[in-house]
Amino acid sequence: MTTNTRLNKALELIACDGEQIKEELQRMLAVDTCFPPGAGYGDFCELMAGLLAPLRFTLQRVSVPETLWRSPDGTSQGERVNLLASLNAGAAENCNLYFHTDTVPAGDGWRFPPLALTQAEGKLFGRGAADMKGTIAAALAAVRAAQACGLPLRFNPVFLLCTDEEGGLYPGIRYLAEQHLFNGHLLSFNGGAVPRIWSGCFGSIDCKVIITGRSAHSGDPGHGINAIEVALPLMNALADLKAQVEQRISAMPAPPHYNGKPLNSLLTLAAAQGGSKGSTIPERFELLINRRYAPEEAFDDVWKELTDCIDRAMRDSRALDVTQQMIGHLAPVADPGGPHWPRWQAALTQGFGFRPDEFAPWGSSTSSDMGWVQQAGIQEILLGGLTRPDNRTHAADEYTTMADLVALSQSILAYLADDFQPTQGH
């Protein structure tokens, strides 16, 4: 079989592999790995071990120490089991394929069972179908096709199946990187099915403020202290800080859908919880603040600005106690370019049919756990994935399509295959 014929045959096998891709994706979706709490990682690790072992991967289970990931509010529960799966293909260099195994909770409003694969309306519905269990199914299909055709690989694929990207204090990929458990460049599938050259992303901090008052009957308040009402100066102060923060512009190129508007820092009052009934003065009020900060901002400065705002607003409060907790943090990503990007762009062109002139560099004020990878010394991070603006990632009825699964799988295969020769201009 000639070089071109062998690669083309492998690409065709992926296009005919839809039933197995769907069957494996169905099995992945059925394992609840939502964060919070992240209690299903062990079960998902066992499932993936069973799918990877027949492909001759060497498996290593790595658990993040509880002292690192245990959040002060108790929202994180269960062992943080990461799976590092390596395939020795005889290549001189590794390519690390990163996947996060957690999803956001299913939430309300679904027309279809969220923890199952439903094929309807030309789409594949389920929590994690796009973000990002579908990308794992695509990568499995790529390796399966390469082996079926005896296709030599340019890189040894290393699957990094990691915990706590959707939240938490210590993502699994951070631990793997800091422990130097993998080497070589990294291909993250936390991106979209778009012709994008990744320029990086913002950092994200989740800060919970817990305000304690004193309960009483609302009709006879006496010495009661209403935790919600004493928090009003704090919310006003945060609204003022939000106005200041969001004037800060990043030099990172904005996404095309911003239509020329620049990326800016963000502060969001993301959740507020307190009280139970009209006849009771609430004793406890919890406020969740999310702060998105650009690579140009230093974490220490961002955190100090936020906590100083809280301290000033509550300094003269009647509250019995005001507690601040950092319950989540992702570092920003800056300048993730490197020598492997042209080959990856050519591979995406092979799979998705993008034109070379469609590729454009842009960043995002959304966040990624890849910042920790850069801080551990790995600078170049390629980006791909299944997300699109309309596939309801993190919302009810999340979906992907078989066409995108096949296209991503073919892109991965082309990138890994030694027979793949990018055309002139890549």
Alpha helices per DSSP H over 208-339:
227-230, 232-245, 299-314
Last residue in a domain, options 302, 329, 356: 329
Q: Specify the pLDDT at position 389.
A: 87
Residue 73 is predicted with a pLDDT of 83
Same domain, 173 and 36: yes
User: Are 173 and 235 within one domain?
Assistant: no
**CA-closest candidate to residue 402, choices 9, 12, 18:** 18
One domain for residues 336 and 209: no
Q: Which of these three, 295, 329, 363, is where a domain ends?
A: 329
In tens digits, the chain (426 residues) has pLDDT values of 445 789 999 999 999 999 999 999 999 999 999 999 999 999 999 999 999 999 999 999 999 999 999 988 888 999 999 999 999 999 999 999 999 999 999 999 999 999 999 999 999 999 999 999 999 999 999 999 999 999 999 999 999 999 999 988 899 999 999 999 999 999 999 999 999 999 999 999 999 999 999 999 999 999 999 999 999 999 999 999 999 999 999 999 999 989 999 999 999 999 999 999 999 999 999 999 999 999 999 999 999 999 999 999 999 999 999 999 999 899 999 999 999 999 999 999 999 999 999 999 999 999 999 999 999 999 999 999 999 989 999 999 999 999 999 999 999 999 999 999 987 444
Based on the domain organization, do 194 and 242 belong to the same domain? no
Longest dimension (CA), the chain: 87
Query: Does residue 308 sit in the same domain as residue 337?
Result: no
CATH number for the domain harbouring residue 153: 3.40.630.10
Do 163 and 71 share a structural domain? yes
**Of 195, 187, 365, 396, the residue nearest 291 (C-alpha):** 365
State whether 196 and 257 are in the same domain. Answer: no
Give dist(CA 414, CA 146) in Å, integer. Answer: 10
Residues 144 and 227 in one domain: no
Q: Is residue 423 part of a domain?
A: no
Query: Whole-angstrom Cα distance, residue 303 to residue 245?
Result: 12
Residue with the two structure tokens 């906590």: 307
Number of domains in the chain: 2
Q: Write out the two tokens for 93.
A: 């260099």
Task: Give the span between the Cα atoms of 195 and 395, in whole angstroms.
Answer: 24
**Which of 403, 333, 420, 353 has the alpha carbon at shortest distance from 134?**
403
E-strand stretches of 213-296: 216-217, 266-274, 280-281, 284-293
For residue 323, the enclosing domain spans: 203-329
pLDDT for position 3: 56
Q: 136 and 36, same structural domain?
A: yes
Asked whether residue 302 is domain-assigned, the answer is yes
Q: How far apart are CA 426 and CA 347, in angstroms?
A: 10
- The pLDDT of residue 1 is 42
- From residue 75, alpha-carbon distances to 38, 192, 264, 268 in Å are 9, 29, 29, 20
Q: Are 19 and 161 part of one and the same domain?
A: yes
Q: Give the pTM.
A: 0.90
Instruction: Output the domain CATH number for residue 325.
Output: 3.30.70.360
Per the CB < 8 A criterion, the answer to whether 94 and 183 are in contact is yes
- Omega within 30 of 0 (cis) for the link into 36: yes
User: Last residue of some domain: 267, 295, 329?
Assistant: 329
